[in-house]
Amino acid sequence: MAQDRNGYALTTNDDAADAYNSGLDKLLSANAGAAVDFERAIAADPDYAPAYAALARERQIVGDRARAKSAIAAAREKASKFSEREAGLLACLSLVLDGKGAEALAAIQAHMKEFPRDALALSPVCGVFGIYGFSGRAGRDTELRAYLDTLEVGFGDDWWFLVQHGFARIETGDAAGGAAKVDRAMELFPREANGAHIRAHAHYEMGESQTGYAALTEWIKPYPRDALMYCHLDWHRALWALDLGKADDAWAIYRASVAPGALWGPSLNVATDAASFLLRAEFAGAKRDRQEWKRVADYIRAEFPRAGIAFVDVHALLAASMAGDEDGFIERKSGLRGPAVDMVAGLGEAFRAYAKGDYRSAAAYLAPLLATHERIGGSRAQRDLLEQLYAQALRHAGRDADAEAYEKSRRR
């Protein structure tokens, strides 16, 4: 009987299994072509529900909500003659696709006790945009790392798990230990785009701007521009270019890959990375361009018309503030919902005050939120924006000594 990449039986024919496994590797490594492979698997076995479920997950990740919904519905219709593991996988992914985070987490944890190497089932849990990442809880990074620690023995030298476990270590302060895991994964699978991405986070956390910029610039050369991670990898490159004093290069990367409409990318990445770059560019000395900020604010409104994803809502409020779009700000803030709504609302007020030049108020709004800003989701590297904003607000308010003391405390 055919097996998947982790050694579990697949109740389908060899042609469908080959296509399914090819799609899994592409999905888990953020390489192009996963959807094509899953569709090939479906063509080879139109009744194979896991292929539909995997396709649904891939569509969800790239932000194609309509096709994700259609694919998971097809998976449910086909679910009748499969193994216990495949049935459990389908149940887990169904809950994920339905947006039932708490129920999905419980189901995945139960499933992993029985099938401790099921990478596709575990994948929605991992990363800063996963179930833990968007839980809205303080301490969610530590929780994720602790959970992945319990699965380490089962996965062994699996390149995908090494990358995810490495990321969890990086996000909890062990950049060197996490980097070692990612480096091992990249030895096993050098074209692992998530590995290249997470290695960039390790470089960032260790202050290796030049090394990180050079390594990622080289790695990305053969990576397709329409692949999942390209736009976000270039966001990392653009930030390093700013840090290295290469402002022209940073803006060229932004305009080619990060700005709305420049390049296809998951809408969540485009929305948040574009806003993040513009503010960091201001910190680096760029003059505020309200039209560019409005472009980003309009993109977020079009792609995420309703509030509900804290990390997106934070950047929506930032973009509206910097664009001077008071109506857009009020509309977004009035619709806030979710477990981190208090923090998102407070950050919004800080952004609005900063944009208006009321730096004392901006600092006052930010100060009580910084200790638990992981609640909004995103990575340490992404949320550093808030810490940098606080230091900038202090300086603009004439509190240089406080800003210097705060920055020293961050570097410890």
Could you read off the pLDDT of 240-266 as tens digits, one per residue? Answer: 999 999 999 999 999 999 999 999 999
225 pLDDT higher than 70: yes
Task: Provide the pLDDT confidence category of residue 411 given band limits of 50, 70 and 90.
Answer: low
How does the average pLDDT of the chain come out, rounded?
96
pLDDT score recorded for residue 213: 98
Residue 412 has pLDDT above 60, yes or no: no
Quick one: pLDDT at residue 80?
Answer: 73
pTM of the model: 0.96
Local confidence band at 95 (pLDDT 50, 70, 90 cut-offs): very high
Q: Which domains can be identified in the chain, with CATH numbers?
A: 14-125 (1.25.40.10), 137-218 (1.25.40.10), 224-410 (no CATH)
Q: Is 357 left (phi over 0), alpha (psi -120 to 50) or beta?
A: left
Give the model confidence (pLDDT) of 295-335 as tens digits: 999 999 999 999 999 999 999 999 999 999 999 999 999 99
Compute the average pLDDT of residues 339-343. 95
Q: What percent of the chain has pLDDT over 90?
A: 97
